[in-house]
Amino acid sequence: METLISLVNKLQRACTVLGDHGEESALPTLWDSLPAIAVVGGQSSGKSSVLESVVGKDFLPRGSGIVTRRPLVLQLHRIDEGREYAEFLHLPKKKFTDFALVRKEISDETDRETGRTKQVSTVPIHLSIYSPNVVNLTLIDLPGLTKVAVDGQPESIVADIENMVRSFIEKPNCIILAISPANQDLATSDAIKISREVDPKGERTFGVLTKIDLMDKGTDAVDILEGKSYRLQFPWISVVNRSQADINKSVDMIAARRREREYFSSSPEYKHLAHRMGSEHLGTMLSKHLEQVIKSRIPGIQSLISKTIIELEAEFSRLGKPIAADSGGKMYAIMEICRVFDQIYKEHLDGVRPGGEKIYNIFDNQLPAAMKRLHFDKHLSMENVRKLITEADGYQPHLIAPEQGYRRLIESSLVSIRGPAEAAVDAVHSILKELAHKAINETAELKQYPSLKIEVGNAAVDSLERMREESKKATLKLVDMECSYLTVDFFRKLPQDVEKGGNPTHSIFDRYNDPYLRRIGTTVLSYVNMVCASLRNSIPKSIVYCQVREAKRSLLDHFFAELGKKETKQLSSMLDEDPAVMERRTALAKRLELYRSAQAEIDAVAWAK
Ligand code: GDP
Ligand code: MG
């Protein structure tokens, strides 16, 4: 038992310490990979007695007639230290340390389900024993197979019991202890019959012969035990359990074992087989077999663990990192997330990610087209020129050149460029905003924190809004500057004949004639076109300087400044994750850690010789 204990002990650390007791759970379990041992056989063949002796404890109700009337699923749990105790699934809060009371509770609980009759129920009783002296195993005590219904039992009982027994032992991880009493003919053994049905090759069936001490005088079981009458994969083992008289006298297990040893070594028929008979030997055989079975399952368990670790890790990384509790940690986390966002935003503007080219499109197409639509030629038609020049002259027609008229014509043209300039600022603003929105959604870290996402989004929009205002001021200033001071050289360099209309030798009244006004119109138009061309170049510079460059440089500066003033509570509310996510992450982290240590433990088992 010792090697098995240490082997299973390692596995146990890998399973039970995982919080994995084989119960229903959202996470995969290892318990299912471990074998279970079930006893099958006819009524009163000694099943409960054998099971007890494998466990090394007196706690099962035994006796003649039908005693075990419900399946008992007994889970043995190894604990590192402490007092042995038992617990029933139907009494979760109660710890039994007195095993006589365990036996009483088993029979009481049987009666609760079936009444004090001879009825049988297929509803199992679940009992767990926690002890430093057991290995993690599931043992199943089953009602005995019968041939006929007795008083109070329904006719179906024979088939019911058989089906129930079969449902337990047909599972491939179930080791079958097929119990046959030696004082009956083996040919009538129900245990052999049903186990051969579910395990035809006998790969997981142990033939156990009980009551050898009760055989008729003059008969013996040597042929069976030597495998001559019925051959099994594993050699037959006979045991001498306590008789009813022993039970009544409360003979303890140690004394019973000693007597059993004496029985085999002193009886002339069995002397030569004594080394492989008895409960102790059965225990050793089972241990060896279990060890082998468990070892053969290790690769499967290993791959299950690796697979689970990969799944857990994937989910863990999907959930993102947890946040520190102190305000420094929170602040740092927020800054880190913002830094990621900022980087993504820059990449959009710099062409690593798409979107930045839309800004160039505004400068290259939208702005020039909008300027063209201003139709200065119409504004500078002869009729308009006449109107503005006369108005500017007022009651005193100009004497040499219509200085005031020129100014009015030029200013009134240039002022209209404010419209396209402002529109370009707004268009760039909406692209910057759209890209910020995109970058926010592309920042995986922000998905985790809906509140922070909103705050960062708002902060970005506020900043962009401020930048738009600045840009508008600066850009309109460029236009206004052109209005406030005209390029003197342009007019000085004009060919003389353009100014002909201003020749003082002409009559004053000739000065408003058509060719004269047309010339003024043409002059002003070419001046305005020159200014337009220059603004087409300088407006984008102003916009990039005030908006694009600034957005790249300091989109969240204001947010960071405000962040510094916030208290822990406010910071936490920014990082208010969904509590379900937080819980899940904690649970995952714990499971993951345990699975990793389980992996290490099982690797150690796999390498152990
Ligand atoms: P189950 O119905 O198959 O669970 O059988 P039990 O374990 O309850 O045993 C039925 C009766 O047979 C009890 O009175 C036991 O004391 C007795 N018994 C079981 N095995 C042996 C044995 O090897 N020798 C003797 N003398 N009595 C036994
Ligand atoms: Mg029994």
Place of tokens 């996402």: 453
> How confident is the model at residue 528, as a pLDDT?
96
Q: How far apart are CA 209 and CA 204, in angstroms?
A: 16
Distance 210 CA to ligand 1 centre (A): 8
Residue 310 Cβ < 6 Å to ligand 1: no
Atom nearest to 66 CA in ligand 1: 2
> What pairing do the DSSP bridges indicate for beta strands 137-141 and 72-78?
antiparallel
All structural domains of the chain: 2-16+35-317+597-608 (3.40.50.300), 327-576 (1.20.120.1240)
Cα 329 from Cα 237, distance rounded (Å):
67
Give the mutation target among 140, 208, 241, 264 for probing the ligand 1 site: most ligand atoms within 8 A of CB.
241
Q: How far apart are CA 116 and CA 137, in angstroms?
A: 31
- Residue type present at position 452: L
What residues have CB less than 8 Å from 317, skipping those under 6 apart? none
Query: In this predicted structure, what is the pLDDT of residue 595?
Result: 83
Q: How far is the CA of 232 from the centre of ligand 2 (A)?
A: 24
Q: What is the secondary structure of 24-49 as a DSSP string?
A: --SS--SGGGS-EEEEEEBTTSSHHH
Spacing, Cα 156 to ligand 2 middle (Å): 20
Q: Evaluate: CB of 241 within 6 angstroms of ligand 1.
A: yes
Tens-digit pLDDT profile for residues 242-273: 999 998 898 888 899 999 999 999 999 999 99
pLDDT of residue 31: 56
Over residues 439-476, the pLDDT tens digits come to: 999 998 898 888 999 999 999 999 999 999 999 999 99
Looking at the CA of residue 61, tell me the nearest atom of ligand 1.
8
Question: In angstroms, what is the span from residue 315 Cα to ligand 2's centroid?
Answer: 47
C-beta 122 within 6 A of ligand 1: no
Rounded to the nearest 10 degrees, the angle between the axes of helix 403-415 and helix 514-543 is: 40
Measured from the Cα of 47, ligand 1's closest atom is 3
pLDDT of residue 25: 46
**pTM metric for this prediction:** 0.56
Of 256, 168, 170, 249, the C-alpha closest to 210 is 256
What does the alpha-carbon distance between residue 99 and residue 106 come to, in Å, rounded to a whole number? 11
Q: Is the CB of 248 inside a 6 Å radius of any atom of ligand 1?
A: no
Q: How many whole angstroms from 44 Cα to the centroid of ligand 2? A: 7
Say whether 608 sits in a helix, a strand or coil. coil
Q: Please tell me the number of the ligand nearest to residue 53's CA.
A: 1
Distance (Å) from CA 47 to ligand 2 centroid = 5
Task: Give yes or no for residue 146 CB within 6 A of ligand 1.
Answer: no
- pLDDT < 50 positions in the chain: 17, 22-28, 498-502, 504-505
